[in-house]
Amino acid sequence: MAWARAIVVGGGIIGTSVAYFLAREGLEVFLLERSRLGDGASGACEGLLLVQSKKPGLHLLMALRSIAMYPQLIEDIGVDVEWERRGALFVATEAADLEGLVELARQQQAAGIEAVILDREEVLRAEPALGSCVCGGCLTVDDAQLNPFKVIYGLAQALVRMGGRVWVGCEVEGVRVCGDRVTGVYTSRGVLGADLVVNAAGVAAAGLVRRLGITLPIRPRRGQVMVTEAVAPLIRRPVVEAAYARLKFSRGAEGTPRVSLVLEQTRRGNLLLGSTREFVGCDRRSTHQGASAIARRATLILPSLSRASIIRIYAGLRPHTPDGLPIIDWVGPQGLVVAAGHEGDGVTLAPLTGRLVADLVTGRRPAVPMDRLRADRFSHT
Ligand SMILES: Cc1cc2nc3c(=O)[nH]c(=O)nc-3n(C[C@H](O)[C@H](O)[C@H](O)COP(=O)(O)OP(=O)(O)OC[C@H]3O[C@@H](n4cnc5c(N)ncnc54)[C@H](O)[C@@H]3O)c2cc1C
């Protein structure tokens, strides 16, 4: 079927990417955002495109494909998004975490990833500012970083150049259905007609389609981040605690601010110190407890941080799914697509997600197998 007009709900990094890729297919695209672009998780995150945290299989394949799309996408949108490809260093401070790191590195090596296991001395040679608590690590070269805000605004500007429309301050109140097909959306500005609607509303994606009888197991998982003043270069590449992958895939106790440290130094010199993983509903506030937990880990792993001033603390809500993979699929009435549930990987997976939605809509062979991204995969668990 040929689609004429598409409405994309949500102006985060996923919605802007989907809108951009649909416009490139020649559709008339409306991007509707209830607040301002980047108001959700995409504006309250870090900018890491991590390969090393992904287990071989679909997740790793998606990360590699998506990261590989970025250089061309950046050239196409024509914006300096502070892209840097410096790899990433995962470090362990305890023997058990080091074992897990080495095991994952071996699996990644078997999958063709350049992952170099380092002993304590080699870690400290690679990153001399790290503390003596570090007992080993693993270096990969494919990981990258960028500024997510600049990607979002770059995509939105490119969308507008292609004739697409971006409506901020426009809340989508429901999906309009006639018979068995989508006919548009109800918004705070009235009804807007379309034959294709893409739900890219992040943690709000489940609520948006609940009234249609569609259940999406996406729930908010808060992450808190602290930002230091700009300082001279302290780390040469992003540094991530080995416990990161374990924490990411654990379901976690409700309300407990658990931290696996992620250190990222921006081009200006600010350090982003992240982040917690907490199930606290839709509470986007940062907390003293979360900040203290991050500060403790950060000064242990990078001791000279104790001399840097914190200039900002913020929190965002990751759209969490039970298996850690997003939902990118047709759901419910004809013409309704979901692209949400990217948890801590939305920045990494944004280009590929845009491309996959365009593949779905055009009926093209998808860039990666999409069975495990289906919405009904959870109905068996
Ligand atoms: C602390 C933290 C650190 C992170 N670090 C990284 C990282 O280093 N690398 C990485 O890849 N990922 C990272 N992530 C994850 C990443 O931020 C998310 O996966 C990604 O931002 C999700 O994007 P999204 O567009 O789906 O959702 P959002 O960015 O939340 O966008 C959804 C948008 O939809 C809008 N919306 C909702 N309902 C409606 C409605 N009814 N009508 C209109 N608009 C609506 C919202 O206002 C919002 O702007 C991190 C997340 C957090 C919280």
Q: Do the beta carbons of residue 151 and residue 81 sit within 8 Å?
A: yes
Q: Where are the domains of the chain?
A: 5-77+148-216+323-380, 88-141+219-320
Measured CA angle at 223 (ends 45, 65), to 5 deg: 50
Cα 10 to averaged position of ligand 1 atoms, centre (Å): 9
Q: Checking DSSP bridges between strand 239-241 and strand 88-92, what pairing results, if any?
A: parallel
| Domain spanning 5-77+148-216+323-380, CATH class | alpha beta
Q: Do the beta carbons of residue 223 and residue 31 sit within 8 Å?
A: no
* Residue 342 Cβ contacting ligand 1 at under 6 Å: yes
Atom of ligand 1 nearest to the CA of 339: 26
> Which residue's CA is the nearest one to ligand 1's atom 13?
344
Lateral strand order in the sheet of 190-193? 172-178, 181-187, 190-193
Q: Do the beta carbons of residue 117 and residue 105 sit within 8 Å?
A: yes
* Residue 274 Cβ contacting ligand 1 at under 6 Å: yes
Q: Which two tokens stand for residue 332?
A: 């419910």
> Which residue's CA is the nearest one to ligand 1's atom 48?
40
Separation in Å, CA 146 to CA 43, 70, 81: 13, 10, 6
Cα 219 to averaged position of ligand 1 atoms, centre (Å): 12
Separation in Å, CA 347 to CA 20, 231, 256, 370: 15, 25, 25, 19
pLDDT of residue 3: 85
**Per-residue model confidence as pLDDT tens for the chain (381 residues):** 678 899 999 999 999 999 999 999 999 999 999 999 999 999 999 999 999 889 899 999 999 999 999 999 999 999 999 999 999 999 999 999 999 999 999 999 999 999 999 999 999 999 999 999 999 999 999 999 999 999 999 999 999 999 999 999 999 999 999 999 999 999 999 999 999 999 999 999 999 999 999 999 999 999 999 999 999 999 999 999 998 777 776 665 555 568 889 999 999 999 999 999 999 999 999 999 999 999 999 999 999 999 999 999 999 999 999 999 999 999 999 999 999 999 999 999 999 999 999 999 999 999 999 999 999 999 865
pLDDT of residue 158: 98
Architecture of the domain defined by 88-141+219-320: 2-Layer Sandwich (3.30)
> Which residue's CA is the nearest one to ligand 1's atom 35?
10
CB count within 10 Å of CB 294 equals: 24
Please name which of 34, 35, 1, 44 lies closest in space to residue 220, comparing C-alpha atoms. 44
pTM of the model: 0.97
